[in-house]
Amino acid sequence: MNFMKLSVILLMMASLITLGKPAGIFADARDEQEQKYQSLLKKLKASPEHHNQLLKNYRSFQALPQEKQKTLKDLDNAIFQLIKSYDSFQTLGKEKQIALKKTAGKLDSQEAGRLLEVFQKFGEWYEALDLKEKDRLAKASYPDERIAEIKKILTSQWISRLPKVDSDALLKLDEPMRAIQIVKMKKEEQIRVAQSFDKKKKVGLLSEETQKFITQIKQQLSSEQLEKLGKLEGKKGAFVKMILDFAEDNPPLPLNKMGVKYLSSKDLPPEVSARLKSLKQTGVYKSFELIKIEKKWPAFARGVTEIIRRSDPAFNYEFGACKFEDLPEDVRVVVNELLQMLQDDEMVKLQAVEGKWPDYPLMLRDLARVHLVIIPGISIPPELLQLKPGKVPVMLR
């Protein structure tokens, strides 16, 4: 990775640690983006909740010293250039992409997608830290000390996920010996996972759990998406990547305690139907928005919720399980283990959305991802993550 790419990642980390989360889009003088910003601003103003957050982010930005404002503007420009480069590469035909790879080696446009993914994952990880850890990062000098502090936190999180007998043994060692032992244990883990991964790859079989997950995702797809996916059958890397993209946008979620699937307008409760009818008359949404996701779970129910929340952000209907006691028994067992791992601020976040759908199961998914816990029926199976193109096998405890 060249210096420019490394600098972008470090800038991303610096901005997140400075503000707690990205401060939003900084609309500087880029003419080609002006129309996009105006359109986005119009949408944000239509939602009081989003508009207020935008204003809050803007005030936070204005309160920063000029030097930090410049750093964030440079970051925004770097991200913009990455996205532009990546989008440009993606619009090329397959033959041109292959030709470019052969002539130019590893392109910046190819790296752009990976760097943006790093940014997103770092943001999710940082948001899950407790206040004490965030404070430690904020006080560390940028960038070397801050990166060293990040590594310390990651190591501490890794130790906390070990079996108790292993973590206790590590904590009894002095600092130098502990560092040596950690390196040794991580190498052993990588070897075990790589051997298991290679064995599955040779056999070419997916586990029953993974096949079930893929089936759930397929059931949510439109005919066009299914056709696109069908063309990738037999191309494992591309097939898995597309499944993961679909799963990220619309993950499978557990049903409510009555076991009801809401798949079309006629299935909706009268009070929800009445609200939709009123919103349609006032032009808040068009019929095709729901027609294209009918017969899809949980896409249809999520679509209904998102439409009503455009005018009423507090709207909530329990289309699916959104409380601990309503989750399936096998899910409750795993979630109970996850709850024991949560920091105080993470528990507060989860409690704030309990009873809200789809907020609660999605928050569970995100927290499970941070703590490397696999929730059946919600989390992406580790086997699929291992098969993602370009991904280095890691140990998921």
Residues 240 and 281 in one domain: no
Q: Strand pairing partners for 342?
A: none
pLDDT of residue 141: 75
Any domain includes 397 = no
Any domain includes 69 = yes
Residues 118 and 47 in one domain: yes
Any domain includes 66 = yes
Q: Name the pLDDT band for 364 (thresholds 50, 70, 90).
A: very high
Cis (ω within 30 of 0) for the bond into 298?
A: yes
| Mean local confidence (pLDDT), 257-268 | 86
Any domain includes 44 = yes
Any domain includes 18 = yes
In total, how many domains does the chain have? 3
| Mean local confidence (pLDDT), 183-199 | 70
Residues 11 and 101 in one domain: yes
Domain boundary among 127, 142, 172: 127
pLDDT above 70 covers what percent of the chain? 70
Residues 23 and 79 in one domain: yes
**pLDDT above 60 for 203:** no
Residues 123 and 7 in one domain: yes
Any domain includes 354 = yes
Residues 63 and 115 in one domain: yes
What percentage of the chain's residues is helix, strand, coil (to nearest 5)? 70, 0, 30
Residues 166 and 245 in one domain: yes
Residues 21 and 108 in one domain: yes
Secondary structure E strands in the chain = none
**pLDDT above 50 for 73:** yes
- In this structure, are residues 378 and 361 in contact, taking their beta carbons and an 8 Å threshold? yes
Of 171-175, 193-197, 204-208, 303-307, which one has max mean pLDDT?
303-307
Q: Name the pLDDT band for 199 (thresholds 50, 70, 90).
A: low
0.85 surpassed by pTM: no
- Range in 87-91, 137-141, 142-146 the model is least confident about: 87-91
- In this structure, are residues 10 and 143 in contact, taking their beta carbons and an 8 Å threshold? yes
Residues 358 and 281 in one domain: yes
Find the domain containing 37 and state its range.
3-127
Q: Which residue has the higher pLDDT, 92 or 57?
A: 57
| Mean local confidence (pLDDT), 180-206 | 68
Residues 47 and 91 in one domain: yes
pLDDT of residue 318: 92
Any domain includes 396 = no
- Distances, alpha carbon 382 to alpha carbons 54, 79, 193, 204, in Å: 36, 29, 11, 16
C-beta atoms surrounding 325 within 10 Å: 7
